[in-house]
């Protein structure tokens, strides 16, 4: 038998066999190296892959009509314009304390409809997170987005910034959202001349005209009148205003 094939029964692999085994080991080693390098060079946004509050968001807003910036039935007798900043701690605390409770009762029962108004509590009326909310509103999921945004502010604080990767991760927490469409709308909206930017600036102007202070606020309107609730109104104040204007 040829020397190139090895002697029968000597326990050695043929040279061709040894070549393929060596090649397989090299490929496996290369894959392991790529995995190690990947872990070492992981993008910061990876830490946002687990968005908190996803199940809560589905439970709170599931089955409730959303259309653009509106939450609830369009013929509800009481309308609340909610001016808040989802990048701020006061905005997060107020939304979490008031909105879920209203959804569970007055909104789900058809008494109240709420309109979301992005309103900066700083001097910048077009903060980047506002575009995330607005892009989600184009798919009728803006309230889910705002809720997940405020639920995950601690992640942004740990990373030191709210950037596009973080906002995309928030969008990923909404099951029915088409992420490529959301990203396209978001990026288009960032243009200073876009309709989205103009809309944010108009909401800010309305807040200024209403002399809203640098805290979350609500404008509660119904058949019996209109009330402006300043300074992070709690649930009791909101419900009392609803009763008065209804």
CB-count burial class (<10 Å; 0-12, 13-18, 19+) for 32: exposed
Instruction: Name the pTM for this structure.
Output: 0.80
Concatenating the DSSP letter of every residue in the chain gives --GGG--TTSSPPPHHHHHHHHHHHHHHHHHHHHHHHHHHT--GGGGGSS-TTHHHHHHHHTTS-EETTEES-TT-SEEEEEEE-TTSHHHHHHHHHHHHHHIIIIITTTSEEEEEEE--SSS-TT-HHHHHHHHHHTTT-HHHHHHHHHHTHHHHHHHT---HHHHHHHHHT-TT--HHHHHHHHHHHTSTTSHHHHHHHHHHHHHHHTT--SS-EEEEEETTEEEEE-SS--HHHHHHHHHHH-
Q: Do 187 and 66 meet the contact criterion of CB atoms below 8 Å apart?
A: no
- Per the DSSP assignment, residues forming a β-bridge with 222 are 225
Query: Does residue 179 or residue 21 have the better pLDDT?
Result: 179
**How far from 96 is each of 53, 56, 187, 214, 239, CA to CA, in Å?**
11, 11, 28, 18, 16
Q: Do 112 and 242 meet the contact criterion of CB atoms below 8 Å apart?
A: yes
**Percent residues over pLDDT 70 in the chain:** 79
Tokens at residue 246, please?
């209804």
Whether the per-residue pLDDT at 158 is higher than 80: the answer is: no
Contacts of 135 (CB under 8 A, 6+ apart): 171, 182, 183, 185, 186, 189, 196
Whether the per-residue pLDDT at 144 is higher than 90: the answer is: yes
**How far from 227 is each of 4, 11, 67, 110, 244, CA to CA, in Å?**
94, 91, 24, 20, 9
Mean pLDDT along residues 123-137: 94
Whether the per-residue pLDDT at 14 is higher than 70: the answer is: no
| pLDDT grade for 211, boundaries at 50, 70 and 90 | very high
pLDDT in tens, 167-201: 999 999 999 999 999 999 999 999 999 999 999 99
Whether the per-residue pLDDT at 40 is higher than 80: the answer is: no
CATH architecture of the region 48-245: 3-Layer(aba) Sandwich (3.40)
Query: CATH 3.40.30.10 spans which residues of the chain?
Result: 48-245
| pLDDT grade for 54, boundaries at 50, 70 and 90 | very high
Mean pLDDT along residues 218-230: 98
Query: Does residue 59 or residue 50 have the better pLDDT?
Result: 59
Q: To which residue do tokens 């909610």 refer?
A: 82
pLDDT in tens, 80-123: 999 999 999 999 999 999 999 999 999 999 999 999 999 998 87
Which of 17-26, 47-56, 63-72, 163-172 shows the lowest mean pLDDT across its residues?
17-26
Residue 145's pLDDT is what? Answer: 98
Half-sphere exposure in the Cβ direction for 236 (13 Å, CA): 0
């Amino acid at each position: 038998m040829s020397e190139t094939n090895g002697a029968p029964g000597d326990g050695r692999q043929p040279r061709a066999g040894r070549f393929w085994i060596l090649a397989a080991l090299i490929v496996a080693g290369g894959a392991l190296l790529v995995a190690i390098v990947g872990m070492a060079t992981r993008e910061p946004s990876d830490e946002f892959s687990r968005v908190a509050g996803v199940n809560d968001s589905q439970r709170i807003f599931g089955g409730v009509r959303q259309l653009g910036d509106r939450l609830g039935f369009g013929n509800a007798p009481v309308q609340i314009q909610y001016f808040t900043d989802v990048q701020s701690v006061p905005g997060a605390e107020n939304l979490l304390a008031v909105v879920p409770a209203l959804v569970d009762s007055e909104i789900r029962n058809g008494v109240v409809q709420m309109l979301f108004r992005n309103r900066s509590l700083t001097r910048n009326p077009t903060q980047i997170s506002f575009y995330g909310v607005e892009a989600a509103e184009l798919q009728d999921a803006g309230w889910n987005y705002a809720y997940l945004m405020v639920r995950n502010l601690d992640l942004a604080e740990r990373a030191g910034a709210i950037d596009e990767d973080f906002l995309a991760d928030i969008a990923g927490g909404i099951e029915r959202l088409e992420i490529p469409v959301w990203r396209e709308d978001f990026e288009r909206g960032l243009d200073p001349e876009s309709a989205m930017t103009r809309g944010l600036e108009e909401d800010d102007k309305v807040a200024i005209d209403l002399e809203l202070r640098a805290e979350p606020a609500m404008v509660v309107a119904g058949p019996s009148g209109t009330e402006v609730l300043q300074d992070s109104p709690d649930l009791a104040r909101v419900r009392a205003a609803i009763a008065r204007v209804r």
